[in-house]
A and B are shown apart, each in its own frame.
Chain A
Amino acid sequence: MTLLEVLNISKNFNHEPALSGVDLSVDTGEILCLLGPSGCGKTTLLRIIAGLENADRGHVFFDGRDMAGVMPHHRRFGMMFQEFALFPHKNVFENVAFGLHMQHYRESRIKNRTNKIVKIVGLEGKEKRGVDELSGGERQRVALARSMAPNPRLLMLDEPMGSLDRALRERLIQDLRRILKKMGITAIFVTHDQAEAFTMADRIAVFNAGRIEQVDAPEILYKNPSTSAVARFLGFQNLIPGTVIRKGRIDTEIGSMRIDTGSMPVNQELTVLIRPEGAHMPEKRGGVSEFVPAVSGRISDCCFQGASYRITLITESGRALIFFLPNHFVPPRAGQKIQLAIDPGSVVLINR
């Protein structure tokens, strides 16, 4: 069931568009992730949904109701801010209980609820600490507890891992998903880190320059990026421009390729994405059969990475392609000329 619906939101800052025509919907109980490079408008969208900022155009519907004119403190949303924004003059307990006080709950109920939440985020025994006595991870937990305590109808998390170090992030991100799912909270999660997004999200919306490029489940997004911007943002580097010359045949700068073109018309311009794990050394001595797509060029770099070798192949057109070769093959040497077979399943055609 759709809980939040964002329709055609646009916002300018100093005559520069920050958001242009954003549409988005979130279902009850879903964790939606806004993924995109920093400065692409993700935070602005969150602030508009929270009511902290007004959109120039467009509507936010929550539970079927237009939120225009509803003050932020009447929306009963939760928000976890980028730098946590913990109240420095209040201790852990007081921070978490603040939202409950604002709902005018009874003292005993506030106490119970706060203690329960503090326990869920694993901060038992630290209720009386001042926020400046906490580590980064602990602050993050206080911020999460504070935003969850009043039972928000929608929880927004703005780069909640932003200021933490790598190892801590990886541990906390899994805790975070577990806690949100356990409490059945509908959440929007903002990040610029694709690994975080993949771990957290039920669905990911990829943002670029104030627009949403694609909204899909993580697996679908990874398998079928719908634009080259999305592909690039997911970390794919082997993106080659090409043209459909006839059904099942594509011409590119690295040669022509036999590949299923589906319903694409002849002369369609497109981008060919080759996944890095989709290449292997030819099995036959005579090279790659003409029925299998292949790339050829000179190896400029080959380095061992444990499970695989990461090789850089420079094609005759001068393009650098990156591949991961399984480690049970004898790796090619730098400088060697080579032809690699490409698994058709790891080639994605992206409309241009």
Chain B
Amino acid sequence: MKKINKHRYRILLVAMPLLFLAIFYFYPLIKIFSLSLMPEGVWSPGKLHKLVSSTFYARTLWFTFWQAALSTILTLTLALPGAYVFARYRFFGKNLLQSFATVPFVLPTVVVAAAFQALLGPNGLINIWLMQWFDLSYAPIHLNHTIWFILLAHVFYNYTVVLRIVGGFWSRMECTLAEAAQVLGASPWQTFYKITLPLLSPAIFAAALLVFIFCFSSFGVILILGGPRFATIEVEIYRQAVHLFNLPMAAALSIIQIIFTFALMGVYTALQRKTAVNLTPASSARSQRKVASCRDRIIVGGNTALMIFLLGMPLLALIFRSFSTDNGLSLVFYRALFENPTQSIFFVPPMQAVSYSVGFAGVTLVLAVLLGLPAASFLAAPQKRLGALLDPIFMLPLSTSAVTLGFGFIIALDRPPLNLRTSLMLVPLAHTLVAFPFVVRSILPALRSIPGSLREAATLLGASPLKVWQAVDMPIVGRALLVGAVFAFTVSLGEFGATAFVARPQTPTMPLAIYRFLGQPGAMNYGQAMAMSSMLMMVTAVGFLLLEKVRIGGMGEF
């Protein structure tokens, strides 16, 4: 009898998150499928087939594919030396550099796009300097609306993914393996490609796959930096749905996007499980050496310089451009954010976007934690089939692109039985969907790290289940919960793909405001985009640097 009660209580725990996913994830997803397979309410897959076989469709898919592949190769080429340096050397400022390298990854896509505009765009820092120095009347660097701009931004974004995954794996690899090979007569090159490389390959492959997935579903970067000439599936879904209002086409594209990201995520998850168990962890103290020789100095110094140039320059340019006007440095762009001149592209002062963003992020934080905590508690308990089934289901929103989620929202939630079209809640709900898996993933390792005997000891000492949770789980999970909450908040602040669909014009968020500013001509709009991007960058960067401090070693990796 007691056992049944306990079981019932656990089911209750998981009911809310499941209900949430059913309404705001699976229902919109079904809508997308029905829209493309039954456009007029009757079963007609022929229409979908016709769309899929068109050259336009193939061209979009092909572009999505090769830009992602090229971005991945470029990222690996630039970041693998960094992974080596971080795995095998101890040097001054290493931890700081690693934290700093993470900042681009957590920045909103819109900010990244704005930062590259600020550095290399037609009005960018480098073009302005070149024009001044060489007395040119035109901007010499034409990266705007070229593939190079997109690739650069993707490298900037994903550098840290390779650095963390491969570097982390590499540093845990026993040095003695390479030394054993050397003593057995292998030259440094043979040691690398017969021992180190094969052992690293699961990590390299996992990192490459993750970068590929991110670039495959890249939206903001392509939309802003690529201009009208380039469109990934994501961008095309947005154009078809919002600009051309061709919903069946958007739905058909969404299906392809869903299938691809699911398949890729599935492979990645399987691979990640493999990389987690393969090697016995070595203490990094033994495998890392100090920078001693001249060669060491060149390697470490060169890599540090590359990182600072690649990852630091765009951000510095962004901040610089937010202050620089024709009359020198000033706060004029920041001040303009508070005004609402008649010709404004907004219905409200731009500063309102900040308060909307913060409000949405606050609601998202509360919702995501309220849903994530019971879900994680359920998964953490030792269990059999149900947990193994639910774990991947809770992660599904993570493997679905934000644009697909947003598109699903507008086609599913705009009519009875659930009409949320005018509701302010639509944006936080979409953000919660994106943030929820992060919260679960942040809390779960901490919950699982608590040995069962600890709870049993507390129970035997006379603590009730609630007391056990208070005395044992809560203090240990508290930090993880904080990490999850900050995650949810920052994810919401920077979310662009889904927001682009669901936000009302009167209630824009900061990323939307930046996007609109960048789309308008004139120095004032450009400057305001820079100013708002700088603000958003500071908030997200500070949030994540705090997380780095709070985070307990080893948990909350991707």
Binding site for B on A (CB under 8 A): 50, 52, 71-79, 81-83, 85, 87-89, 98-99, 102-103, 146-147, 150
Q: In the complex, are the beta carbons of B185 and A103 less than 8 A apart?
A: yes
A73: which of B177, B186, B278 is its contact (CB, 8 Å)?
Answer: B186
B263 contacts which chain A residues (CB < 8 A)?
none
Residues 250 to 302 of chain B near chain A (Cβ within 8 Å): 278-280
**Which of chain A's residues has its CB closest to B282's CB?**
A83
Q: In the complex, are the beta carbons of B183 and A77 less than 8 A apart?
A: yes
Q: In the complex, are the beta carbons of B199 and A52 less than 8 A apart?
A: no
CB distance from B533 to the nearest CB of A (A): 45
A73 contacts which chain B residues (CB < 8 A)?
182-188, 190-191
Q: In the complex, are the beta carbons of A150 and B177 less than 8 A apart?
A: no
A28 to B188, CA, bound (A): 29
- Most A C-beta atoms less than 10 A away, residue of B183, B194, B199: B183
CB distance from A100 to the nearest CB of B (A): 9
**Which of chain A's residues has its CB closest to B279's CB?**
A88
Q: Is B198 an interface residue (CB 8 A)?
A: yes
Q: In the complex, are the beta carbons of B174 and A98 less than 8 A apart?
A: no
A98 to B195, CA, bound (A): 10
A102 contacts which chain B residues (CB < 8 A)?
181, 184-186, 190
Q: In the complex, are the beta carbons of A52 and B179 less than 8 A apart?
A: yes
**Which of chain B's residues has its CB closest to A14's CB?**
B290
Q: Is B330 an interface residue (CB 8 A)?
A: no
| Per-residue interface assignment for chain B, residues 522 to 535, with 1 indicating a CB less than 8 Å from any chain A CB and 0 otherwise | 00000000000000
A244 to B140, CA, bound (A): 94
B184 contacts which chain A residues (CB < 8 A)?
73, 78, 98-99, 102, 146-147, 150
Q: Is B180 an interface residue (CB 8 A)?
A: yes
Q: In the complex, are the beta carbons of A85 and B186 less than 8 A apart?
A: no
Q: In the complex, are the beta carbons of B174 and A85 less than 8 A apart?
A: yes
A85: which of B179, B190, B191 is its contact (CB, 8 Å)?
Answer: B179
A103 to B194, CA, bound (A): 14
CB distance from A52 to the nearest CB of B (A): 5
A-B contact pairs, 15 of them (CB 8 A): A71-B182, A73-B186, A74-B185, A78-B183, A81-B179, A83-B174, A83-B280, A87-B180, A87-B181, A98-B181, A98-B186, A102-B181, A103-B185, A146-B180, A150-B185
- A sample of 20 more A-B contacts (CB under 8 A), given A73-B186, A79-B179, is A71-B187, A72-B182, A73-B184, A73-B191, A75-B183, A79-B183, A81-B179, A83-B280, A85-B176, A85-B180, A87-B180, A87-B195, A88-B278, A98-B184, A98-B194, A102-B181, A102-B184, A146-B180, A147-B184, A150-B185
B195 contacts which chain A residues (CB < 8 A)?
87
Q: In the complex, are the beta carbons of A50 and B183 less than 8 A apart?
A: yes
Q: In the complex, are the beta carbons of B180 and A81 less than 8 A apart?
A: yes
**Which of chain A's residues has its CB closest to B201's CB?**
A89
Q: In the complex, are the beta carbons of B177 and A52 less than 8 A apart?
A: no
A147 to B184, CA, bound (A): 7
**Which of chain A's residues has its CB closest to B173's CB?**
A88
A85 to B178, CA, bound (A): 9
A211 to B452, CA, bound (A): 48
A85 to B180, CA, bound (A): 7
A99 contacts which chain B residues (CB < 8 A)?
184-185
B199 contacts which chain A residues (CB < 8 A)?
87-89
Q: In the complex, are the beta carbons of B180 and A79 less than 8 A apart?
A: yes
| Per-residue interface assignment for chain B, residues 185 to 221, with 1 indicating a CB less than 8 Å from any chain A CB and 0 otherwise | 1111011001100110000000000000000000000
A98 to B198, CA, bound (A): 14
**Which of chain A's residues has its CB closest to B195's CB?**
A87
Q: In the complex, are the beta carbons of A83 and B181 less than 8 A apart?
A: no
A82 to B286, CA, bound (A): 13
B183 contacts which chain A residues (CB < 8 A)?
50, 52, 72-73, 75, 77-79, 147
A325 to B190, CA, bound (A): 61
B188 contacts which chain A residues (CB < 8 A)?
73
A52 contacts which chain B residues (CB < 8 A)?
179, 182-183
A81 to B179, CA, bound (A): 9
A87 contacts which chain B residues (CB < 8 A)?
177, 180-181, 195, 199
A146 to B181, CA, bound (A): 10
CB distance from A129 to the nearest CB of B (A): 17
**Which of chain A's residues has its CB closest to B194's CB?**
A98
A71 to B187, CA, bound (A): 8
A52 to B191, CA, bound (A): 14
A35 to B146, CA, bound (A): 67
- Most A C-beta atoms less than 10 A away, residue of B186, B278, B280: B186
A79 to B177, CA, bound (A): 11
CB distance from A49 to the nearest CB of B (A): 10
A81 to B174, CA, bound (A): 11
**Which of chain A's residues has its CB closest to B180's CB?**
A85
Q: In the complex, are the beta carbons of B278 and A72 less than 8 A apart?
A: no
**Which of chain B's residues has its CB closest to A77's CB?**
B183
CB distance from A155 to the nearest CB of B (A): 10
A83 to B283, CA, bound (A): 13
A52 to B287, CA, bound (A): 13
B176: which of A76, A81, A103, A146 is its contact (CB, 8 Å)?
Answer: A81
CB distance from A131 to the nearest CB of B (A): 11
A77 contacts which chain B residues (CB < 8 A)?
183
CB distance from A72 to the nearest CB of B (A): 4
**Which of chain B's residues has its CB closest to A149's CB?**
B184
A76 to B182, CA, bound (A): 10
Q: A83-B174, A85-B177, A88-B199 are in contact. Are A76 and B185 (CB under 8 A)?
A: yes
Q: Sorted from nearest, which 7 A-B pairs have the closest CB atoms?
A: A102-B185, A99-B184, A85-B176, A85-B180, A79-B183, A72-B182, A81-B176
A66 to B185, CA, bound (A): 19
Q: A98-B184, A99-B184 are in contact. Are A89 and B198 (CB under 8 A)?
A: yes
A50 to B185, CA, bound (A): 11
A103 contacts which chain B residues (CB < 8 A)?
185
A150 contacts which chain B residues (CB < 8 A)?
184-185
A50 to B180, CA, bound (A): 10
A88 to B277, CA, bound (A): 12
A245 to B143, CA, bound (A): 95
A72: which of B174, B179, B194 is its contact (CB, 8 Å)?
Answer: B179
B279 contacts which chain A residues (CB < 8 A)?
88
A50 contacts which chain B residues (CB < 8 A)?
179, 183
CB distance from B105 to the nearest CB of A (A): 30
A236 to B219, CA, bound (A): 75
B194 contacts which chain A residues (CB < 8 A)?
98
A211 to B407, CA, bound (A): 74
B185 contacts which chain A residues (CB < 8 A)?
73-74, 76, 99, 102-103, 150
- Most B C-beta atoms less than 10 A away, residue of A52, A72, A78, A147: A72
**Which of chain A's residues has its CB closest to B199's CB?**
A89
A76 to B180, CA, bound (A): 12
A77 to B182, CA, bound (A): 10
A74 contacts which chain B residues (CB < 8 A)?
185
B191 contacts which chain A residues (CB < 8 A)?
73
A103 to B183, CA, bound (A): 12
Residues 468 to 504 of chain B near chain A (Cβ within 8 Å): none
CB distance from A54 to the nearest CB of B (A): 10
A82 to B280, CA, bound (A): 14
CB distance from B329 to the nearest CB of A (A): 47
CB distance from A301 to the nearest CB of B (A): 38
A147 to B279, CA, bound (A): 21
A79 contacts which chain B residues (CB < 8 A)?
179-180, 183
A150 to B199, CA, bound (A): 23
CB distance from B530 to the nearest CB of A (A): 47
